[in-house]
Amino acid sequence: MSIQLGQIAPDFEQDTTQGRIRFHEWLGNSWGVLFSHPKDFTPVCTTELGAVAKLAPEWAKRNVKVIGLSVDPVDSHHAWEGDIAETQGSAVDFPMIADPDRKVSNLYGMVHPDADPTITVRTVFVIDPNKKVRLSLTYPPSAGRNFDEVLRVIDSLQLTDAHKVTTPANWKHGDDVIIAPSVNDETAKGLFPDGWKTLKPYLRLVKQPGTAK
């Protein structure tokens, strides 16, 4: 199964390191980040789980719940968490899904047979409070994921959901944004009374809504 942007993230019930959950119920009204790992006790993923744990205040600031997954059972996850805390200096404070039956992996298309039919690929899904998938990324085994980029995209999604803007290449919170093409100049005057910079009729830059003047 291939999950496409805009689709409702498949619901499931599965055991985790923090008890059995039903995914949609667990998410509630939060944003979610679901990220998979090929298996426990792998080096790159050990660093990733530590990095995500260290970002706990940033996830909370954005109303985001994070949850990991691998095909190993819960007791293996718990043992791995000890290694993560020891080597990365941060305890894993979010649930890890146990998926030995590949139920969730298959729901989300995380098993790529041409890569390895026995393990999951390293995928990231960002899910909004309406349970829609808003971002999906798949990484190779050798490259650690950049969770600053995941935060950056969540910032963009939350901003553009709230205002009629889009964000340019390499945008970071506080940078100028683009007035959405669907907004004509007349409407834009009411939305952005301080004005904007027109580079082309279709490319109008404006200060990020909500930032100090």
Residues that are catalytic: 45
Q: What is the DSSP letter of 132?
A: B
CA atoms within 13 A on the CB side of 84: 26
| Cβ count near 192 (within 10 Å) | 18
Distance CA 99, CA 106 (A): 10
In the sheet that holds 165-166, the strands lie side by side as 165-166, 177-179, 203-206, 197-200
